[in-house]
Chain A
């Protein structure tokens, strides 16, 4: 494939993805509200990130799903409407039954997915020629990694001792 036809393909693919993403959102409109206990994350977002978190974070001995999801939710709550929409669109596209298979290669659904299958999906997007997928890969990894390594439970296992303890007493009366 020469550069010109590649550009055409990826542009076409992007348009298809964006419009399909819109369709996915239309069909999923009944699931637009955030899940109970969360500010931003909806049921399909929780499904998607629960499937991916273990694959992204890897064999961290203290990984805890609820802590990680709560941390991610706090990050997205503080972000912008534009960023939240991007995350919603991505999750809709990746979880909507009609788009999930062709877009992610995960045909069987996210609920019972193994870490190997989730990793295969990440790898597929990481090495994709379509920039939208590469953006998705980067977004998923960075959000999950920042969310997990922002919580104290994550620190000891990677040799970060945390802020010096005396600082906690600095402003106590």
Chain B
């Protein structure tokens, strides 16, 4: 039988503390890393290997393969921000983000793309990030790909993904295979509830264990309330344990000091910590330019079984429409979503008899999504992270006309792919959406649907920006080395430093940029 990675690690002396039951903080850490996701874990492994005394603080709890039971509601409650019910401030966009050891990497769908060249070019031109070049980043991507076993998915795509392949083939549109960070994947389909076999090469089973093997301490179930700072330096952090169910903080506040702090709480939460800390923000850039890759979706029904709840959730994509357009509309990447019943039931639309009938077609349904590439136009400044009265961070993301115009385009193009692949009917995921049996009928239906908040069921699984990199302090929060423009021993290494969205699933961008910036930091520490 299997032995859990963490059970074995603890046996050989890993320093892991549950803040709810122990206060044994390591003495005088060299660096405090806030967050254990793609950014925090990558930085922790590199710094611990370099010999630094690394302390990792994580708000979520430690859940490992033996706790992952492919149970949607259990996973949403235990492993996601706000129990997977997080939304933008006005409720217009649902936001899926992880909150557990390993961060979102523990629950993501494993799609691993390099940062697109067009995105890098935009950052060079508009934010003065000279290193945003494919050639300079290639070695980092190659190393990450090697370390996390990232390869194009070699098995057949499941039927849900094959719809993109077949439809695009018939239309003459571009499609390709998605690279995934898995080793010995069982092709189960439950990536989103935590990988039960440790095949997914998430931070939970790669960089966190590496950091722990090199003496790092991990304290989980603790929330960093504030950074403590003075003039141009951070002196430490104030954190507080979570309660037994991780709903709120409870118990004694702890001060921990360190000469270096790396913030890696992810977009929304990283700007949130800085806002709570009232750090210098002379150009009012903090929390601004937060992007979501807003997603709109189409549900199609086929005559044959799709079984989208089984098999690698994402293995085929299309970038046919994912260039940065000249005008203000957005490019979008086409992918599919895994189709476990709880989350899909919320997207079927309608209620009662009609909803029940649609649910009965679950096994024959295909859920296609268009991931819209926000932040590449002067009229598309994204959202702004704010604090609620109780100090919780929330993203105010206004839904603008260009987004709605793009939704219409994306709905129609996805319908083309689905009909070309042989769909019996296609329905926009919209409060008033109805199944249409031909493209012409769909097009007419779409013209009648209001593109407005709450009706179009928008969601997001990628939060980026809010602490953007920029050469000039007027344009961002950190410089191109990830160092805070005003607090000189504070670095931010996570998705919040991206000056725009990525235009592809962002985990690889976070790994590679963090690796590069951490190595540069290590050079400066020598």
Interface residues of A (CB under 8 A from B): 55-60, 71, 74-83, 86, 115, 119, 122, 126-127, 131, 134-135, 137-139, 141-142, 145-151, 154-155, 157-160, 163-164, 167-168, 170-173
**Contact A149-B345, Cβ < 8 Å, known A71-B73, A135-B454, A167-B188:** yes
Known: A78-B245, A81-B390. A168 touches B355 (CB 8 A): no
Given contacts A75-B77, A170-B196, whether A122 and B346 have CB atoms under 8 Å apart is no
Q: Which of B144-152, B281-289, B357-365, B501-509 contacts A (4 or more CB under 8 A)?
A: B357-365
Partner of B85, one of A75, A122, A155, A164: A75
Residue B348 is within 8 A (CB to CB) of chain A in the complex: yes
**What residues of A have a CB within 8 angstroms of the CB of B392 in the complex?**
80-82
| A-B pairs with beta carbons under 8 Å apart, 6 shown | A78-B78, A147-B342, A160-B341, A160-B362, A167-B70, A171-B4
Judge whether A75 and B70 touch: CB under 8 Å.
no
- Is the Cβ of B1 less than 8 Å from the Cβ of A172? yes
CB-CB < 8 A to A173: which residues of B?
1
Of all chain B residues, which has the CB nearest A169? Answer: B1
Query: Top 4 nearest A-B pairs by Cβ distance?
Result: A78-B83, A58-B356, A78-B77, A163-B70
Tell me whether A119 and B352 are in contact (CB under 8 A): yes
Q: For the complex, what is the distance from the CA of A151 to the CA of B340, rounded to whole Å?
A: 11
B388 touches A82 (CB 8 A): yes
Tell me the B320-368 residues at the A interface (CB within 8 Å).
340-346, 348, 351-357, 359-360, 362-363
Give the CA-CA distance A164 to B186 in the complex, in Å: 11
Contact status B85-A158, CB under 8 Å: no
When C-beta atoms are compared, the residue in chain A nearest to B453 turns out to be A131
Contact A82 B1 (CB under 8 A): no
**Shortest Cβ distance from B245 into A: residue:** A77
Q: B2 in the interface, Cβ–Cβ < 8 Å?
A: yes
Q: Assess the A56–B351 pair: CB atoms within 8 A.
A: yes
Chain A: minimal CB distance from B90 (Å): 8
Q: Report the minimum CB–CB distance from B430 to chain A (whole Å).
A: 11
Q: Is the beta-carbon distance between A79 and B2 smaller than 8 angstroms?
A: no
Question: B68-108, CB under 8 A of A: which get 1 and which 0?
Answer: 01111100111000111111000100000000000000000
Given known contacts A135-B454, A149-B342, A164-B188, A79 and B85 CB-to-CB distance under 8 angstroms? yes
User: Given A77-B77, A146-B342, do A57 and B70 touch, yes or no (CB 8 Å)?
Assistant: no
With a cutoff of 8 Å between Cβ atoms, the chain B residues found around residue A134 in the complex are 431, 453-455
* Chain A residues within 8 Å of B359, by CB: 149, 158
A56 to B248 CA separation, bound complex (whole angstroms): 31
Count the B residues whose beta carbon is within 8 Å of the partner chain — how many? Answer: 59
Decide if B377 is an interface residue (CB 8 Å cutoff): no
CB <8 Å contact, A59 and B353: yes
Q: How close is A51's CB to chain B, nearest CB, in angstroms? A: 13
Q: How far is the CB of A65 from chain B (nearest CB, A)?
A: 16
- Check B309 against A158 for contact (C-beta < 8 Å): no
Residue among B71, B197, B394, B454 having the largest count of chain A Cβ atoms under 10 Å: B454
**B491 interface residue per 8 A CB criterion:** no
Binding site for A on B (CB under 8 A): 1-2, 4, 65-66, 69-73, 76-78, 82-87, 91, 188, 190, 196-197, 245-248, 309, 340-346, 348, 351-357, 359-360, 362-363, 388, 390, 392, 394, 431-432, 452-455, 457
Chain B residues near A168: list those with CB within 8 A.
Answer: 69
Nearest CB in chain B to that of A170: its residue: B196
| Nearest opposing residue in chain A for B363, CB measure | A159
- Assess whether B352 is in contact with A77, with CB atoms less than 8 Å apart: no
A75-B73, A158-B362 given; name 20 further pairs at CB < 8 Å. A56-B355, A57-B352, A76-B83, A77-B83, A78-B85, A78-B246, A80-B83, A119-B352, A135-B453, A141-B355, A142-B346, A145-B345, A145-B346, A147-B342, A151-B73, A158-B360, A160-B341, A170-B2, A170-B197, A171-B2
- Tell me if B2 and A150 are in contact (CB < 8 A): no
User: Given A131-B453, A134-B455, A157-B360, A80–B85 Cβ distance below 8 Å?
Assistant: yes
For residue B64, give the distance in angstroms from its CB to the closest CB of chain A: 10
Closest chain-A Cβ to B153's Cβ sits at a distance in Å of 19
**B192 smallest CB distance to A (angstroms):** 12
Q: Is the CB of B197 within 8 A of A83?
A: no
Residues on B with C-beta less than 8 A from A159 are 360, 362-363
B134 to chain A minimum Cβ distance, whole angstroms, is: 40
In the docked arrangement, what's the CA distance between A11 and B432, Å?
23
Inter-chain contacts of B247 with A (CB < 8 A): 77-78
A49 to B356, CA, bound (A): 18
The reply to whether B351 and A58 form a contact with Cβ atoms under 8 Å apart is yes
Which single member of B343, B355, B362 contacts A58 (CB below 8 Å)?
Answer: B355
Determine the residue in chain B with the shortest Cβ distance to A60.
B356
Question: B307: shortest Cβ distance to chain A, in Å?
Answer: 9
Determine how close the nearest CB of chain A comes to the CB of B460; give it in whole angstroms: 15
Instruction: Judge whether A138 and B82 touch: CB under 8 Å.
Output: no
Contact B355 A145 (CB under 8 A): yes
